[in-house]
Amino acid sequence: MLYKIVPALRAAMNASSLSFSESGQADVTLSGVTEDNAIEKVKAASLCGKASVAIDGLGVFTAKEAAEGRLSGKIAIVTGSAQGFGLGIAEEMIAQGANVVIADLNIDLAAKVADELCKKNGAGRAFACKVDVSDEASVEAMIEDTVKAFGGLDIFVNNAGVLKAGGLEEMDAKSFEFVTKINYEAYYFCAKYASRVMKLQHAVAPDKFYDIIQINSKSGLEGSNKNFAYAGGKFGGIGLTQSFALELVEFNIKVNSICPGNYYDGPLWSDPERGLFVQYLKAGKVPGAKTAADVKKFYEAKTPIKRGCMPLDVARAIFYIVEQEFETGQAVPVTGGQVMLN
């Protein structure tokens, strides 16, 4: 598989990203490269600064110029990024120089998003990939597709998640398992395969750092009434973050969680038909509220900063984590002060 060889080549070439073709001219040709000897082969070939390298049996890999910005030269995956919070995060990351994989179950929408991002930021800067994060084989295929598109991986943003609320008497086992599989188990799958690429790159370029970032929730910092499936998975996610951080630190892979407050402008809350503001209005959850806007104001007032969390707020936390080499295993709150650490 490409993802077991090409990231080592990218690191040896010191390339921000690589384009792939099955044939063509190259500055250097390597023969006899396998998954078992890829690290030794590329390290011995003095490839730093080479514009293109051919690997017999695989194809030709050509270095691409990096875009400018805080994430210049970085390759990133954002799961669940065809819409909502994930889309906003991907937009901010690509604007800061990253090449971004729009990984989503809705491949048609992901492809549309990637096309729009390329038109705005430059050809080849975004790539759409279908993934079911709850399926291990699908996650592995996503990593393979990413390496084929860009040559490696520097930042993995584990954003895909689901919410299904309900108390002990309302929640059924099937729903509980669904929420847990997406919000907890899928994080394990993604960290497993993302870290494989990063380890390869580290073996060739040991001074560089890589990041796995879980988009958690304020519900990972405090319990959530009648929402235990979601909060439990998010609490567990922070446990995974801390454990992965300890295991992967020797490879310069930092692992952190970001715990955002509520994204009130997103479809979960603001959808005019099914959004939580409308649901809470109909349920009479906010005394005296006459419109969905009244409900929104009530919830915005819960934060000292008096507004909901926005994708840019989370993106800035991502930039900090990537730039800060002396931090791992943390849960960074981005809640407007609604949840404060003890």
Q: How many CB atoms lie within 10 A of CB 100?
A: 29
Type of residue numbered 339: V
| Active-site entry in 3, 184, 187, 230 | 230
Residue 327 φ then ψ, to 5°: -160, 130
Sheet architecture: strand order including 253-260: 126-130, 99-104, 75-79, 155-158, 210-215, 253-260, 331-334
d(CA 100, CA 87): 11
Cα angle 132-137-139, degrees, rounded to a multiple of 5 = 50
- Concatenated DSSP letters for 209-252? -EEEEEE--GGGTS--TTBHHHHHHHHHHHHHHHHHHHHHGGGT
Type of residue numbered 272: P
Q: Over the Cα atoms of the chain, what is R_g?
A: 21
d(CA 215, CA 170): 27
Angle (deg, nearest 10), helices 173-180 and 228-248: 30
DSSP-derived pairing of the beta strands 99-104 and 52-55 = unpaired
Sheet architecture: strand order including 28-30: 17-21, 59-64, 52-55, 28-30
230 is catalytic: yes
d(CA 317, CA 320): 5
- Cβ-Cβ contacts under 8 Å for 66 (sequence gap 6 or more): 16, 17, 72, 73, 97
Tell me the three state secondary structure of residue 199. helix
* Residues tagged active-site: 230
